[in-house]
Amino acid sequence: MMGDRTLELLSAWAIARKELLTQLRYPLQLFTEVAQPLYQFLVPALLLGASFAVAGRAVGLEAMTGTDNLAGYLFLGVIVGGMVGTAFWDMAFSFKREMDVGTLEQTWLSPTRPETFVLGRAISGGLISVGASAVLVLLGMAFFGAEVGEGLWLALPALLLAMASMVGIGYLVASACLMLREPNFFVDATNFLFAMISGVAFPVAVLPWFIKPVAYILPTTYAVDLLRVYALGTRPLLDPALEWVALAVLSAVMIVVGRIVFRRTEHRMRVRGTLGQH
Amino acid sequence: MTASLVADLHAFAAAGVKEFRILRRYPTLFLGFLFWPIVLPFSYVLQARGFAGGNAAAEAAFATRAGTADVVGFLFLGFTAYMWISMILWGPGTALRTEQVRGSLEALFLTPASRLVILFGPAFSQIVWALYMFGLVGIAMVFVFGIDIGLVEAIRALVIIAVATPALYGMGALFASVVLRFGEVGALVQTVRGIFTAFCGMTFPIIVLPEWGRAVALALPPTYLIGGLRSALLAGADLVSLIPDMAFLLASGLFLCAAAVVAFRSTERYARRGGSLAQY
């Protein structure tokens, strides 16, 4: 007899496979995973950076972060930006899509726990995000002059921890999606703010003083910073040892808090009978 | 003839009012109209601060290339134009697509209203939103970021927006024809928006582009809109000095609107013959 946890893990994998199969049916959508960050964020940012270059070097960025590798700085930021997008759109917003097509009640009536659906989508979204990020970084190295050091491998555990924290964030945002019923703007805006405040696009040091404290309680801030410290040799925000501890602790907190909030939201919706309303 | 024209004008206004009413039913859309015009360009302002790094040489390099040291104004104007263009590219095409999905497109085509109403009507309400967006950004630039914009500069900017309107709505209407022909517009809009973002200087002065990139930029109407707005509001350029840019915008506007009408008529004939109007 398989234990409950094993069964839930198998269910999560089945959900992930289903989501991946659906994605494979739309190759243009997969292409967008790479093309959209490239034209919507990376190219405008690279050209803005080029406007500040002196004799072809990003001297301003170097003064601020310790590296003049503008392309490397931005392309590595996109890796964490992709993870944030996975939590907000693939894990959380998918509940809204199910609400719209009217299948949410049926799936929640199955013996699989609702939170397993979040986990399954985290797996599929994470795999797609990893693939898109790998392609983007390779494109950055091949065509945009991004130089990524071998230290990148040392930062991989930070990315895994960040991905785990994103499952917690996914639970939190999914709860909001279930409660709000029209969460498009909420998800879009909070996804953008979460990524920006984490320092995906610029150094955290330039954030206004009243937003900066928020950056220090987001696990992704430490993930993107450690990634750049190891791969590009940038100056860390804090002592790297402290950053590792902060990342691990915050990731654990996000998962625990996220699950509690999601379970309470689910219970509340079952009691009030609002699951099918949207 | 006159009665028909008046009726078409009524239909045109009714199409605009209908779109506005639909927008009013979804209050979160209003939040987006308040949030994105400020937050999106502000994130690029922060990015510019990171790239400048407080380094005088980097800031001077930007000022030389952009023709202004006002990074905030430069980026806010570029992004406001970008958001307006996005709205236009999605607008008419999405409106027709929505009618197609709802099953009301055939009924719309059976009305005696001119096809021009169907094509440009939904865009009418968006002019209100575009003006609102430019107003909001103007207020933020003046009162939050302390950029000095006088009444004369504001009027010059409005003239440039008015001159650019036919070109941009012509593009939007061309996309609407594509929707009727192919039933899907997302990928094409993403591609064209990507081209505009990469070439038209929304976040950068086009001088940083390679020579071939500058040639592409100078063939696209949004480049002249963005450049004109920056010249009028940040560099104090008068309208006379912007006549060549405005002439290009007007000429491309005439061409694009005419092309949109031709494309729409041809697509309509195709849809009628093949019976594909309601298929999606």
Residues of chain B numbered 149-178 and touching chain A (CB < 8 Å): none
* Structure confidence at residue B278 as a pLDDT band (50, 70, 90): low
Residue B202 to residue B187: CA distance in whole angstroms: 21
Average pLDDT in the B251-255 region? Answer: 95
Q: What is the pLDDT of residue B124?
A: 67
Distances (CA, A) of B175 to A260, B39, B70, B84: 46, 28, 35, 15
0.90 surpassed by pTM = no
A201 touches chain B (CB under 8 A): yes
A57 phi/psi in degrees, rounded to 5:
-115, 140
Query: How far apart, in whole angstroms, are the C-alpha atoms of residue A181 and residue A179?
Result: 6
In this prediction, residue A270 carries a pLDDT of 84
Rank A5-9, B22-26, B51-55 by mean pLDDT and report only the highest. Answer: B51-55
Are residues B203 and A53, on separate chains, in Cβ contact within 8 Å?
A: no
CA distance B53 to chain A (A): 4
Identify whether the C-beta of residue A63 lies closer than 8 Å to the C-beta of residue A205.
Answer: no
pLDDT along chain A (278 residues), means of 10: 80 92 81 87 95 95 95 96 91 81 82 88 91 94 90 92 94 90 86 96 96 96 96 95 97 96 90 74
What band does B123 get if pLDDT is binned at 50, 70 and 90? Answer: low
Per-residue pLDDT reduced to its tens digit, B77-101: 998 888 888 888 777 777 777 777 7
Q: Inform me whether the C-beta atom of residue B236 falls under 8 Å from chain A C-beta atoms.
A: no
Q: pLDDT higher for B23 or B65?
A: B65
> Which of A50, A54, A189 is facing B204, going by the closest CB pair?
A50
Does B55 contact A60 at a Cβ distance shorter than 8 Å? yes
More confident residue, B213 or B23: B213
Average pLDDT over residues B97-117: 78
Residue A167 in tokens? 């499952």
pLDDT value for B184: 65
pLDDT score at B1: 55
Q: What is the pLDDT of residue B100?
A: 75
Q: Residue A276: its pLDDT value, please?
A: 66
Q: A with B: how many residue pairs have Cβ under 8 Å apart?
A: 126
> What pLDDT is attached to residue B192?
82
Where is pLDDT greater, at B17 or A121? A121
Burial of B173 (0-12, 13-18, 19+ CB in 10 A): buried
Closest approach of B64 to chain A, Cα-based (Å): 9
Distance from CA of B222 to the nearest CA of A (A): 15
Give the per-residue pLDDT at A35: 87
Strand partners, A57: A54
Question: At B272, is the secondary structure helix, strand, or coil?
Answer: helix
CB contact under 8 Å between B59 and A52, yes or no, is yes
Instruction: Check pLDDT > 70 for residue B252.
Output: yes
Q: B46 vs A206: CB contact, 8 Å cut-off?
A: yes
Which of A51, A65, A202 is nearest residue B204 as measured by Cβ atoms? A51
Predicted local confidence at residue B199, as pLDDT: 93
pLDDT at B277: 67
**Cα distance from A40 to chain B (closest Cα, Å)?**
7
- Report the pLDDT value the prediction gives residue B18, as an integer from 0 to 100: 79
CB-closest option in B28, B57, B61 to A182: B28
- Binary contact (B50, A186; C-beta < 8 A): no
Cα–Cα distance for residue pair A133/A127, rounded to 1 Å: 10
Nearest-CA distance from B58 to chain A in Å?
5
CB contact under 8 A, A61 and B202: no
What is the pLDDT at residue B279?
64
For residue A168, count CB atoms less than 10 angstroms from its CB and return exposed for 0-12, middle for 13-18, buried for 19 or more.
Answer: buried
Q: What is the pLDDT of residue B205?
A: 96
Selecting from A59, A70, A188 the residue whose C-beta is nearest the C-beta of B55 gives: A59
High-pLDDT (> 70) share of chain B, %: 93
Q: Are residues B57 and A54, on separate chains, in Cβ contact within 8 Å?
A: yes
pLDDT at B102 over 80: no
pLDDT digits (tens, 9 = 90+) for B173-208: 888 787 777 766 667 777 788 888 899 999 999 999
**Which residues in chain B have their CB less than 8 angstroms from residue A207's CB?**
46
Chain B contact present for A153, CB below 8 A: no
Residue A151: DSSP 8-state: G
Contacts of B59 in chain A (CB under 8 A): 52, 60
The answer, for A145 touching chain B at a CB cutoff of 8 Å, is no
pLDDT at residue B275 in the model: 74
